[in-house]
Amino acid sequence: MRVIGTVAELQALADRERAAGAKIALVPTMGALHAGHRSLIDEARKRADRVWVSIFVNPDQFEDAADLERYPRTRDEDLQCCRDAGVDVVFAPECDEMQRPASPCWIEPGESAQPLCGRSRPGHFRAVATIVAKLLLAAKPHVAVFGEKDYQQLAVIRSMVRDLGFDVEIVGVPIVREADGLALSSRNVQLHPEARRQAVALVRALDAAEGAVASGDLDSARLLQRARAEIDKAPLARIDYVELCDAGSLGPIAETLDGSALLALAVYFDSPESDSPDGGARRAVRLIDNRVLDPRRAASAR
């Protein structure tokens, strides 16, 4: 496995691989790799001759400097994970290789970046779109693979690739979950043990809404109420948003579901008060999850 740190070296390798007729798949990550990332690598292997993984913690995606500082960085473990998975190249640049602070250039994403995380984290998807564009230009892949846990991110990237004419196929891979249903995330390790226990409220919320749709309840307000009620059972949970939107456009939906809808959740899980006995700030970890609710599929199953 080859580890590369500069854009120029990666681009030169991409040119050689393409000239030799090899198909390249890129898996962009921020490191702290887990089984969810492994599923992306496995999907990439099915679709290409060469599998490349990028590891770059993008500072511009973080609103809070403390959150950036806490984000897990496990380079040695990540490289071993890539070796075990048969990755051909790891692109692991330093910040100054990917950022040019003297003359910043940004990609402003379209409408799909406005709701959900775009509303609660202004500028987040501008940072995501810009760094993904740089990674695509550096690696020149035929295929790029992303996880569907970051549903809105996937939608933003697909829109950017389509609108700007990138010659790359964007592939989404279903969410990988832990045994109790919690979606795998690099942030899960940051949870206080009690917060980790309560975090399954997210999947309970998704299950409750999906179960209601399966039983014929298509009222959007009631579905949201059911989801919120499950999260409210977790004392350490603080809701950022619980929303339903069109699964394709991420735009508003009708009062009664008449097509596929995305139920999207973003919830902060605090550490217990006892974790800050001096009255200092309690550490919070923000988790996201989602599920597509399809009334037509539910009706055919009844």
pLDDT of 63-104, one tens digit each?
A: 888 889 999 999 999 999 999 999 999 999 999 999 876 667
Report the C-alpha gap between 110 and 192 in whole angstroms: 36
Cα–Cα distance between 270 and 191 in angstroms, integer? Answer: 8
Report pLDDT for 296.
Answer: 83
**Res 176 pLDDT > 90:** yes
Q: What pLDDT score does 297 carry?
A: 77
Q: Which residue has the tokens 């008060």?
A: 273
Q: Give kind and range of the element (H or E) at residue 14.
A: helix 7-19
Q: Give the pLDDT confidence of 232-268 residue by residue, as tens digits.
A: 999 999 999 999 999 999 999 999 999 999 999 999 9
**251-280 b/e (C-beta count within 10 Å ≥ 16 → b):** eebeeebeeebbbbbbbebbbeeeeeeeee
Bridge partner list, 52? 26, 89
Distance, CA of 282 to CA of 300 (rounded, Å):
47
Q: Which residues does 7 contact at the CB level (< 8 Å), separation at least 6? A: 93, 97, 98, 134, 137, 138
Residue 118 has pLDDT above 70, yes or no: yes
Of the residues 37, 124, 142, 192, only one is catalytic, namely 37
- 279 sits in the region (left: phi over 0; alpha: psi -120 to 50; else beta) called left
What backbone torsions phi and psi does residue 24 show, to the nearest 5 degrees?
-105, 135
**Which secondary structure element, helix H or strand E, spans residue 267, and what is its range?**
strand 261-270
What is the Cα–Cα distance from 47 to 198, expressed in whole angstroms?
37
4-13, 40-49, 97-106, 141-150: which has the minimum mean pLDDT?
Answer: 97-106
Quick one: which H or E segment has residue 37? helix 35-47
Please check the confidence at residue 132 and state whether its pLDDT lies above 60: yes
Residue 37 is among the residues annotated as catalytic for this protein = yes
Residue 282: predicted pLDDT: 66
Radius of gyration of the chain (CA): 20
pLDDT for residue 279 is more than 50: no
Mean of pLDDT over the chain: 94
Q: Quick check: 153 pLDDT over 60?
A: yes
26 contacts 167 by C-beta, under 8 angstroms: no
Residue 66 is predicted with a pLDDT of 87
Mean pLDDT of 156-185: 98
Which tokens sit at 237? Answer: 């949970």
pLDDT average, residue stretch 180-184: 98
- 274, pLDDT greater than 90: no
pLDDT in tens, 31-72: 999 999 999 999 999 999 999 999 999 999 998 888 899 999
**Percent of the chain scoring above 70 in pLDDT:** 94
Token pair 């597509």 is found at 292
In angstroms, the CA 90 to CA 114 distance is 32
Tens digits of residue pLDDT in 196-236: 999 999 999 999 999 999 999 999 999 999 999 999 999 99
Distances (CA, A) of 259 to 158, 213, 220, 256, 297: 21, 11, 12, 9, 10
What backbone phi and psi angles, to 5 degrees, belong to 34? -140, -170
Among 18, 42, 12, 40, CA closest to 28: 40
